Structure 1
Amino acid sequence: MKSKILFFLFLSVSLFAREVIDQRGSCQINWTQGFILCEGESAQNQGKYAANLSAKVISQRNMLEVIKGVNITSEITIKSGLDSSEIIKSRVEGIVRGVQVISSKYDRNTKSSVVTTKLELGKDLLKALLSDPTLLSWNEKVEQLWNDFNILPQAIASTYTTDEKETILKLMEDLRDNSDAKKHLEKIIEQMNSSKNFTGVLLDISEITNFQKALIVKLVDEKGKEIYPSNLVSKQTLTKRNTSVGYMFGIDDAKKNKRVFDNPIEIKPSSIYKSKLSNIVLNKAQIEKINSIDKNVLKNAKIILVLGD
């Protein structure tokens, strides 16, 4: 019974999508939508309350086992934290205890229950693990990783780069002496629209056979230097997006995804960086393409990996 329940739950949310879903025992990781579903099935011949409670506990136990196998980056795993830090162990166990119950089915014939729970990769898992890296003694790399991300801006002005501030100041000066501000702005908008504005990045990695999925996938140059996401993506954006990149099957379907809709630039990397299986290498020409697009595309993590047809 339980396998059918989990199948229909996934079918209801991804009937027409070509999503990247990993089956791990009684759990499934939906990398496209950014969540984990786990089932638990109670023993038979129990009352409804006892059966539901037992099934929930088993589902939570299954969730914990799946979480252990999730990579944060190529170099950082959740399991390493659980094995070496009581702080991380407490945090992870806390979010598992608080997982959302999305389905509870009691079979009156067998007097047993199947309970399905859900955990969000970003707002639940990443936020709990990385919200205060100074307390995480289990891996110094975590603190460095989290510090690489932009601090959430305290003031609107701080969200602009120096060049952007200069542009805004120039516009203000121009408009001060221009009686027809509307016409002036319309001309600017027209010039902007005349150029090709990309709304996202599609990375076709269908030919990279040794790629490893992670919460934070990095884009690096041929020497391994990180290009994305550090110093570009805020903590808030990362946890909201669930992962630093989206995951999908099929170029055409990916183009329609709201993360990159409606005019993404397409790039086809050919390798990962050495043994770092979640670090995707971009050559010089591909990096130039990335650098030519609006920086807000990267800041908003508007990148999708296409894993195949």
Structure 2
Amino acid sequence: MREKRKCGIGLLAISILLISTLVWAQGWQTIKDPVKIFQEGYIQVVGISEEGQSRYRAIRAAEVVAQRELLEILQGLHLYGETTVRDGMLASDVIRTRVEGFLRGAVKCGEKYYPDRGYAEVCMRLYIRGRGGMYDIILPLLKEEGLTPPSLPEYKPRLIPKEISPKVPEVPESKIEKEEKPEVAAPSELKEVHDGLIVDVREYAFKPALVNRIITDKNEVVFDPSKIVSNILVERGCGGFTTDLSKAKALLTSWGAKNPMIVKAVGVYKSTDAKISSDAAAAIYVHDQRANFLAEAKVVFVLK
């Protein structure tokens, strides 16, 4: 009986060890790809020390390796267009100091020492979103340091409420200027209100960045960080990113948007600005007047 009990306890201990190892391994995935970083909201790396060291020295060395890798990945992220965090650091001492200080706030998400070979692995994470994250640290500085994207005019549609628009003589189609054409319904006329936005940019080489804008085909700004409420900007940045339409809808649902509008991009400007048609911009404007989803960054970009 005792033999069986010992055997059972031994198997239980092995099972617990295996489960613990599995949980440990699952928490150690690296998150380095920009799309994944902006999806998850953080960078995560695993630093590995050289062998033949004491526990303390090995863990400290692994931390240094992880911090070096975090900085390298962070510097490669895009502020907007082709301008990276590295470019911002070179252009501004203030941004360089802030980024270096931000890096010191990286959190440890796991560590393990291997005494048989005298080396250590340390998992470290750097948050992009949330209080004290990259959006919180960097975005307020961009405007002050003159590193914001080139200024573009704000989009303002030609809104004519149908119920009060005057009667005008019919004009042959050929004589109507293209940009004059859609007359947009007033917000009060909407029978169904869209409360979120999905921008499909899968046909283009679009890059997630700290500043992603939505602009019209005439280069007018529909959506940018200036339209987002400050605390929402810190938590969500310029919206969400995914490679799957159903995941985009699920993300918006988690933000309280149950009936999102889906808009297909017609191009990309400077890699990080999604271009949409003037008709789509007019529709977004009208629905946003009712649902206010741009201010809450209820916007998801679907990437390829």
- TM-score if structure 1 supplies the norm length? 0.69
Name the residue aligned to 1:129.
138
Which of 296, 300, 303 is residue 300 of structure 1 equivalent to? 296
Which of 180, 186, 197 is residue 193 of structure 2 equivalent to? 197
Identity of aligned residues (%): 23
Query: Is the CA contact (8 Å cut-off) linking 1:201 and 1:267 kept in structure 2?
Result: yes
Name the residue aligned to 1:264.
260
Name the residue aligned to 1:70.
77
**Is the partner of 1:119 in helix, strand or coil?**
strand
The structural deviation recorded for 1:283 is: 0.4
State the one-letter code of the partner of 1:128.
Answer: I
Name the residue aligned to 2:112.
105
Structure 1 residues 22 and 93: alpha-carbon distance in aligned structure 2, compared to 1, 3 A threshold: closer
The structural deviation recorded for 1:117 is: 1.1
Which of 250, 262, 272 is residue 278 of structure 1 equivalent to? 272
Structure 1 unaligned regions, length at least 5: 13-20, 149-191
Name the residue aligned to 2:27.
9
Name the residue aligned to 2:13.
none
* CA distance in 2: counterparts of 1:239 and 1:200, whole angstroms: 18
State the one-letter code of the partner of 2:138.
Answer: L
Name the residue aligned to 1:214.
209
The structural deviation recorded for 1:236 is: 2.5
Structure 1 residues 223 and 141: alpha-carbon distance in aligned structure 2, compared to 1, 3 A threshold: farther
Query: Is the CA contact (8 Å cut-off) linking 2:108 and 2:122 kept in structure 1?
Result: yes
The structural deviation recorded for 1:75 is: 5.2
**Is the partner of 1:141 in helix, strand or coil?**
coil
Structure 2 unaligned regions, length at least 5: 1-21, 155-187
Query: Is the CA contact (8 Å cut-off) linking 1:259 and 1:304 kept in structure 2?
Result: no
Which of 45, 52, 65 is residue 58 of structure 1 equivalent to? 65
**Is the partner of 2:86 in helix, strand or coil?**
helix
After superposition, the C-alpha distances for 1:155-204 in whole angstroms (9 at most, x for unaligned) are xxxxxxxxxxxxxxxxxxxxxxxxxxxxxxxxxxxxx9x94232311111
Structure 1 residues 294 and 259: alpha-carbon distance in aligned structure 2, compared to 1, 3 A threshold: same
- TM-score if structure 2 supplies the norm length? 0.70
Name the residue aligned to 1:141.
147
Name the residue aligned to 1:23.
33
**Is the partner of 1:298 in helix, strand or coil?**
coil
Query: Which of the two has higher C-alpha Rg?
Result: 2
State the one-letter code of the partner of 1:69.
Answer: G
Name the residue aligned to 1:156.
none
**Is the partner of 1:214 in helix, strand or coil?**
coil
Name the residue aligned to 2:246.
252
Alignment of 1:236 with 2:236, yes or no, is: no
Query: Is the CA contact (8 Å cut-off) linking 2:32 and 2:43 kept in structure 1?
Result: no
* CA distance in 1: counterparts of 2:221 and 2:67, whole angstroms: 36
Query: Is the CA contact (8 Å cut-off) linking 1:52 and 1:114 kept in structure 2?
Result: yes
Alignment of 1:85 with 2:92, yes or no, is: yes
Query: Is the CA contact (8 Å cut-off) linking 2:62 and 2:120 kept in structure 1?
Result: yes
Structure 1 residues 35 and 11: alpha-carbon distance in aligned structure 2, compared to 1, 3 A threshold: same
Query: Is the CA contact (8 Å cut-off) linking 2:88 and 2:147 kept in structure 1?
Result: no
After superposition, the C-alpha distances for 1:57-77 in whole angstroms (9 at most, x for unaligned) are 111111111111111111532
The structural deviation recorded for 1:10 is: 6.7
The structural deviation recorded for 1:251 is: 1.1
* CA distance in 2: counterparts of 1:52 and 1:10, whole angstroms: 15
State the one-letter code of the partner of 2:115.
Answer: R
* CA distance in 2: counterparts of 1:292 and 1:10, whole angstroms: 45
Structure 1 residues 114 and 10: alpha-carbon distance in aligned structure 2, compared to 1, 3 A threshold: closer
**Is the partner of 1:238 in helix, strand or coil?**
helix
